[in-house]
Amino acid sequence: MQYSLALHTPKKKLYDRIEHLLSLAGVVLNGRRPWDIQVHNDKFYYNVMRSGSLGLGESYMNGWWDAAQLDEFICRLLRAELDAKVNSLQDVINYIGAMLINLQSPERSYEVGRKHYDIGNDLYEKMLDKRMIYSCAFWKYASTLDEAQESKLDMVCRKLELKPGMRVLDIGCGWGGMSQFAAENYGVEVLGVTISKEQASLARERCHGLPIEIRLQDYRSIDDTFDRILSLGMFEHVGYKNYRTFMQKVRNLLNEEGLFLLHTIGSNISRKTTDCWIQKYIFPNSMLPSAKQITESIEGFFVLEDWHNFGADYDKTLMHWFKNFRSSWSTLKKNYDERFFRMWKYYLLSCAGSFRARSNQLWQIVLSPRGISGGYRAHYK
């Protein structure tokens, strides 16, 4: 790691250092292009050099800088790998904490539910599609967010080869959209679990009358048997210390002839922590798995049947979420302040930029306990 802790550096040197770093990404300080940034407060320079990505995000929340096309600004930074050139003491603290503590223990697993998913169903209802699916959509055959999310849900059902009467476990069921779709269109019975009280409450309402049970429950305490198991956008909260535990638990819950579909954001590099700003403001105790970490976690438990990457689709998904969020702000601002608006905007657009830069991926992985006799046929449509 390189450290640029400019605690006593004169302001001019701070400016010159940041100007040089940004030039490596094709970004100009106070430039005129959409991805150039305009600095409104000189505290920005010190904050970024002292605190890295945390300082960049907090400075934006404070209104100290802007960029007309924030998503493209972040994309260019990541393509130039500037995130590896400016690290902070907080990065070191987070790394040590992740090494010493199980940040995703059963006791800590509900923290992300309280801090992120419970902040208000009104926000997610306005931002997401009609089924409230909070994971990457599949855009190959779609032109709207509703169509793209339904295309993804149907692809999941086909990959799992769902049949009427099957019992399905939905780990990280969110507001119940996936469970509802599978029950309505494929005639299955579903148990959905979430660590969010608000998600569980609304999911029960939305799934009323269907053969679906929604529980507020950590995956480690489930005790049952299922024909199929799926997890959409939850594995990012499991943590590297629990990957083997997660896979062993899924294996124990799955019938011998069953299938498990894992839908997760993935990292190109094996890490033990997440971005400092994301950790503090958006997803506490989260981290993105690498392909190596996933394959090591399934060894001895599963046969890898299929691995599908459509990470570029997350850029488009996030941009649609931001469009919905921005257009609904006149209503949402009754419950959220302007600082929240800038925080949420930074979250959605910086994540879009990360997928555009191909720094992050989106994987759907199909696993079987012993291998499908005659081979597995992927169902991409």
* Residues 188-233: tens digit of each pLDDT: 999 999 999 999 999 999 999 999 999 999 999 999 999 999 999 9
Q: Which of these is catalytic: 136, 157, 207, 351?
A: 351
Q: How far apart are CA 134 and CA 317, in angstroms?
A: 10
Residue 46 lies in a domain: yes
What pLDDT score does 83 carry? 77
Q: Are residues 123 and 218 in the same domain?
A: yes
State if pTM tops 0.85.
yes
Angle 222-228-234 (CA atoms, 0-180°, nearest 5)? 60
**Whether residues 40 and 166 fall in one domain:** no
Quickly tell me which residue has 């594995």 as its tokens. Answer: 235
Within this chain, do residues 205 and 298 fall inside the same structural domain, yes or no?
yes
- Total domains in the chain come to 2
Q: What is the pLDDT of residues 356-381, one digit of tens each?
A: 999 999 999 999 999 999 999 988 76
As a whole number of angstroms, the distance between CA 265 and CA 263 comes to: 7
Who has greater pLDDT, 43 or 106? 43
351 is catalytic: yes
Residues 156, 52 share a domain: no
Give all strands (DSSP E) within 272-315, no chain letters: 303-309
- Give the pLDDT of residue 3: 37
Domain limits for position 76: 11-87
**Residue 4 is encoded by which pair of tokens?**
């640029």
d(CA 340, CA 333): 9
Confidence check: pLDDT of 272 > 60:
yes
- pLDDT value of residue 88: 47
Mean pLDDT along residues 241-249: 96
* pLDDT band for position 104 (cuts 50, 70, 90): low
**163 belongs to a structural domain:** yes
Regarding whether 143 and 60 lie in a shared domain, the answer is no
Same-domain check for residues 138 and 221: yes
In-domain check, residue 377: no
CB burial of 243-259 (b: ≥16 within 10 Å; e: otherwise) equals bebbbebbbebbeeebb
Residue 28's pLDDT is: 95
Domain-embedded: residue 379:
no
CA-to-CA distance for 191 and 201, rounded, in angstroms? Answer: 14
63 and 139 belong to one structural domain: no
Measured distance CA(145)–CA(150) in Å, rounded: 8
User: Which of 87, 102, 131 is the last residue before a domain boundary?
Assistant: 87
347 and 205, same structural domain?
A: yes
What's the Cα-to-Cα distance from 44 to each of 15, 17, 185, rounded to whole Å?
Answer: 10, 13, 52
- Residues in contact with 221: Cβ distance below 8 Å, sequence separation at least 6, in sequence order: 106
Out of 87, 119, 138, a domain closes at 87
Q: Identify the CATH number of the domain in which residue 268 sits.
A: 3.40.50.150
Per-residue pLDDT of 25-42, as tens digits, reads 999 999 999 999 999 999
How far apart (Å, rounded) are the C-alpha atoms in residues 232 and 338?
Answer: 31
Residue 376 lies in a domain: no
For residue 380, tell me if it sits in a domain: no
Q: Is residue 105 in some structural domain? A: no
147 and 72 in a common domain: no
In a domain, 98, yes or no: no
- Banded model confidence at residue 1, pLDDT cuts 50, 70, 90: very low
- Asked whether residue 89 carries a pLDDT value surpassing 50, the answer given is no
